Chains A and B, each alone.
Chain A
Amino acid sequence: MELKLNTPLGTYTEPEYKEEGIQQMARFIRTMLNDYGIYNVQFNTVDKDVLIEAKSNPEKYPTLMVRTSGYSAYWTDLGERVQNDIINRTEHNL
């Protein structure tokens, strides 16, 4: 089903999704979970250069959220060592 909602006073603007990228992500998740039996996965999808920029200029990113691990947090609320650790993880291409 496709959800059609009428929210004229809402703040949300749908981003321009890359149809092929979204489809590929869906196939990738099916492979991981349905085929390979992996129990859980969660994704960070903020570009790494955005996090590096947000670390230098946090005042411009008050509501930037990231997946730390098992939960989401505001980027600016994390300690510096945690921020560095997240930036240091591997950013994969699909």
Chain B
Amino acid sequence: MAAKDMFTGAKWGLSIRDGQSAQVGSTPRIQALNGMMHAERPNCDIFRAKVLTEVYRQTEGEPAMRRRYKASAELYRRFKPVIYDHERLAGWPASRIRGVQLAIDMHAHWLENEIDQIRTREYDPFEISDEDLKELKEDFIPYWKDKTPASLWAKYLPEDEIHRSQEGGFADVINYVASHGSHFLPDYPYLMEHGLKGQYETAKKCLEELDPDDPDSIDKNEFYTGLLEVLLGIKELAENYSDLARKMAGTEDDPERKQELLKMADCMKHVPWNPPRNFYEAIEIVWFVLCILFIEGAGPSVTYGRFDQYMYPFYKQGIEDGSLTPELAMEYIEELYIKTTANPWLLATDLAYYFGGYFRYPHLDVGGLDKNRRDASNELSYLCLRAMRYVKTTAPSVSLLLHQKTPDDLLIEACKLSAEGMGHPSFFNMDTLVSILEARAGGLQGRSPYSVDQILEWGSPIGCVEPGVMGQQYGHTDSCMINVAYAPTLVLTHGIKPDNVDGWGCGERLSYDNGFISQYTTFEKFYKAVKDQIEFAIKEAHRDSVIVEKIFAEQFQLPTYTLLLRGAVERGVDAASGGALCNIGPTIQSVGFGTLVDSITATKKVIYDDKEATIEELAEALSSNFVGYEDLRQKLEAAPKYGNDDDYADDIAMDVWKFFANTVRSLKNYRGGYIDPAVQMVQAHVGFGAKTGATANGRYAGRPLSDTMAATQQEDKSGIMAAIRSYSKMDYPAYTNGTVLDMWIKGSDLINK
């Protein structure tokens, strides 16, 4: 079956999934829109690159903030709207469906080498026209390649550290350096109440009240002057959609479509500048804001947050005045899901392998509590879950915030969606979310700046699982990856990366040398050395990433993110520079937790407790990838494993879990907060596994590591209840950037097939 081995990866997947195969939805409109999306191929738009390059050339030598703000304003003013058939929600972040704005200022350094493969690469290929490709290669890439954050960052570091921290496979910051403008819960509640007009009036007032004798007014004058232009740019963009809709209505023959276009024209004239008047205008704001954030920002995980809360007043009003039905509301929601799915994420080729599938991590939540600690669910909560059953899109990640007070009916609705096998929804524990947010960015001794009311009312996961409060938080939430599974092996290789694995640096130093192996005469000494390796990786990634944070804060301002933060305008500080109430990140995540625990446990059992082999023999076995040591490998594999409610392994799990979290939370970021830890790195355990030598749990070099916080694959042998009893022993609030747990329940237990 050699030929079929090639039949994987998005290039192949796209070739068999066309507009016909995916025409599903609750109405013919939705079926058509779903088909249109799948008929298109992910594509690159160079509009952003063009405008940015022009603005930067014209403003050489001007203050960094002025240039960034001017670029954003120009992007909105000059964007050419397109409205497609069947659409009721206006807006796209690029000129074509499934387009991505190529963030040349973030990506030019890697594009220089990879641009010729972008159309044909196996994972996440993108279409781009020949002319655009030529312009990129001849003009934009040469202009930007030495100006990207990654290029500027490299000037701070020695050569080997640059490679090690991006490709080595132990402590990795690559995802942070290239995805700025990301991981965000926009202040939708503010927009629903005041519209952008509210921010415009605030900024204008702040500018008028600046005291020119105050030295702070130098930067603040730039800030307000620039922000007002960005706000007017967004207003103009919405009005351009309005004008186009009106123009299209003029030539439309179908009377029903003509009415829809006129309604769209009216809507876009009004929002997002003014607060919405009905459900349609409110959901248009939800979508339009995502579009502008994806025009300005390069990263993933712009999140809809507590959608069923800020949308419900409009839903209720529409049902009461007869202008809306549940079916019509669901149709709007399905359209939102399709359009959300149609936003691909452009990544460098090696990252596309980790995060493959174009997903840009939007997220939508239902349920939870309100600020009075009552159950917050409503009819929209059910509709958001049901819509996913009809429309079957990968995005957004729909989630239920579960609490003791959550009605059983809503949980059953969520389980029925889960039974359909698409992976939706995620389930979150509302109480743990609250505990985490009380500690977010507060370090080991402190607490977050959030009030309990703020957390209850607008607390929500971002991207996969990372906690935040809508409109109150800015910072990248999957910045540094620490392959903790490597640590026991690196203790025994003197910090040298073994041969014959992927990535930079086989035979090179990945970590430091703890000294002679014979010193590990007791388990405690060995375990301490493992922790030292983990601490080394955390601190190296932290040092490297905080340099990037400083570069972002000084030179890569984000005006649109800023004006969607509550209070940032009044504070007069950009989102990238610390304008949010809570300034989080760069965060530090562990990869391969189960592999780490099983490796430490197996070493304790086989080497120190049962004395079946010496630590030197284990070192030999790992360096030779178990060649000649099959007997030892089998003994390691037979040792107790995490995920079976066995305290022999779980005691180590609890301890090293806490150690990682505490080490991370003792470190500070550039903008004054503390760093938050997580266990969440999606598919990274496969890519990191390929870079990792043999491990002491009996795993061969190159094989995948364990997934997120779960037990090692196939090692949770004592049943599902024993597995979750192991997981229940971990301290979740200690992971102030969240934890992911994937489990697999046999589908035929839930559905007759």
* Complex Cα–Cα for A15 and B327 (A): 20
Residues of chain A with a CB closer than 8 A to B251's CB: none
Q: Does B348 contact A (CB under 8 A)?
A: no
Structural contact, B409 and A2, CB atoms closer than 8 A: yes
Structural contact, B8 and A83, CB atoms closer than 8 A: yes
Closest chain B CB from A19 CB (angstroms): 10
Closest chain A CB from B105 CB (angstroms): 26
Q: A41 is contacted by which of B27, B383, B404, B426 (Cβ under 8 Å)?
A: B426
Query: Which residues 69-94 of A sit at the B interface, judged by CB distance below 8 A?
Result: 69-85, 88-94
Structural contact, A34 and B402, CB atoms closer than 8 A: yes
Structural contact, A63 and B392, CB atoms closer than 8 A: yes
* Complex Cα–Cα for A91 and B34 (A): 31
Residues of chain B with a CB closer than 8 A to A18's CB: 749-752
Interface core residue of B361, B683, B730 (most chain A CB under 10 Å):
B683
The segment from B252-260, B530-538, B662-670, B720-728 that touches chain A is B720-728
Structural contact, B429 and A17, CB atoms closer than 8 A: no
Q: Does B735 contact A (CB under 8 A)?
A: yes
Structural contact, B122 and A79, CB atoms closer than 8 A: yes
* Complex Cα–Cα for A37 and B407 (A): 18
Q: B394 is contacted by which of A40, A42, A74 (Cβ under 8 Å)?
A: A74
Structural contact, B707 and A85, CB atoms closer than 8 A: yes
Residues of chain B with a CB closer than 8 A to A23's CB: 412
Structural contact, B727 and A45, CB atoms closer than 8 A: no
Structural contact, B423 and A43, CB atoms closer than 8 A: yes
Tell me whether chain A's interface is mostly helix, strand or loop, or mixed.
mixed
- By the criterion of a CB under 8 Å from any partner CB, how many residues of chain B are at the interface? 116
Q: Given that A40-B426, A65-B423 are known contacts, is A16 also in contact with B746, CB under 8 Å in the complex?
A: no
* Complex Cα–Cα for A10 and B390 (A): 8
* Complex Cα–Cα for A90 and B720 (A): 10
Structural contact, A45 and B4, CB atoms closer than 8 A: no
Query: Which residues 237-269 of B sit at the A interface, judged by CB distance below 8 A?
Result: none
* Complex Cα–Cα for A10 and B327 (A): 11
Instruction: Name the CB-closest residue of B to A92.
Output: B720
Q: A42 is contacted by which of B4, B390, B403, B423 (Cβ under 8 Å)?
A: B423
Query: Which residues 1-23 of A sit at the B interface, judged by CB distance below 8 A?
Result: 1-3, 5-7, 9-12, 15-18, 21-23
Q: Does B86 contact A (CB under 8 A)?
A: no
* Complex Cα–Cα for A43 and B386 (A): 17
Closest chain A CB from B303 CB (angstroms): 12
Query: Which residues 401-417 of B sit at the A interface, judged by CB distance below 8 A?
Result: 402-404, 407-409, 411-413, 415-416
* Complex Cα–Cα for A70 and B679 (A): 11
* Complex Cα–Cα for A43 and B725 (A): 17
* Complex Cα–Cα for A93 and B750 (A): 10
Closest chain A CB from B660 CB (angstroms): 15
Structural contact, B714 and A90, CB atoms closer than 8 A: yes
Q: Given that A5-B326, A37-B732 are known contacts, is A72 also in contact with B422, CB under 8 Å in the complex?
A: yes
Structural contact, A80 and B17, CB atoms closer than 8 A: no
Residues of chain B with a CB closer than 8 A to A46's CB: 421, 747
Q: A33 is contacted by which of B395, B418, B429 (Cβ under 8 Å)?
A: B429
Structural contact, A68 and B21, CB atoms closer than 8 A: no
Residues of chain A with a CB closer than 8 A to B415's CB: 22, 25-26, 29
Interface core residue of B18, B716, B728 (most chain A CB under 10 Å):
B728
* Complex Cα–Cα for A33 and B359 (A): 27
Residues of chain B with a CB closer than 8 A to A75's CB: 13
* Complex Cα–Cα for A23 and B394 (A): 25
Structural contact, A79 and B423, CB atoms closer than 8 A: no
* Complex Cα–Cα for A82 and B517 (A): 35
* Complex Cα–Cα for A38 and B432 (A): 7
Q: B386 is contacted by which of A5, A74, A82 (Cβ under 8 Å)?
A: A5
Instruction: Name the CB-closest residue of A to B432.
Output: A39
Instruction: Name the CB-closest residue of B to A20.
Output: B749
Interface core residue of B395, B397, B713, B750 (most chain A CB under 10 Å):
B750
Structural contact, A45 and B421, CB atoms closer than 8 A: yes
Structural contact, B421 and A29, CB atoms closer than 8 A: no
Interface core residue of A10, A50, A68, A78 (most chain B CB under 10 Å):
A10
Q: Given that A30-B411, A38-B432, A59-B16 are known contacts, is A78 also in contact with B741, CB under 8 Å in the complex?
A: no
Chain B 1-21 interface mask (CB, 8 Å, partner A; 1/0): 100110111101110111001
**Pairs across A and B, CB under 8 Å, 8 listed:** A3-B326, A22-B415, A39-B738, A69-B708, A71-B397, A74-B17, A77-B10, A92-B745
Sample of 15 more A-B contacts, CB < 8 Å, known A5-B330, A32-B728, A93-B746:
A11-B25, A17-B419, A21-B419, A25-B750, A37-B432, A38-B432, A56-B4, A63-B21, A67-B422, A70-B463, A71-B357, A74-B357, A85-B704, A89-B744, A92-B723
Contact residues of A with B, CB < 8 Å? 1-3, 5-7, 9-12, 15-18, 21-26, 28-34, 36-48, 50, 55-56, 58-59, 62-63, 65-85, 88-94
9 cross-chain pairs, A with B, having the tightest CB-CB distances, nearest first:
A67-B423, A70-B464, A76-B13, A73-B357, A36-B728, A72-B423, A77-B13, A33-B429, A62-B17
Contact residues of B with A, CB < 8 Å? 1, 4-5, 7-10, 12-14, 16-18, 21-28, 31, 122-123, 326-327, 330, 353, 356-359, 361, 379, 382-383, 386, 389-390, 392, 394-395, 397, 402-404, 407-409, 411-413, 415-416, 418-429, 431-433, 436, 461, 463-465, 680, 682-683, 685-686, 690, 704, 707-708, 710-711, 713-717, 719-720, 723-725, 727-728, 730, 732, 735, 738-753
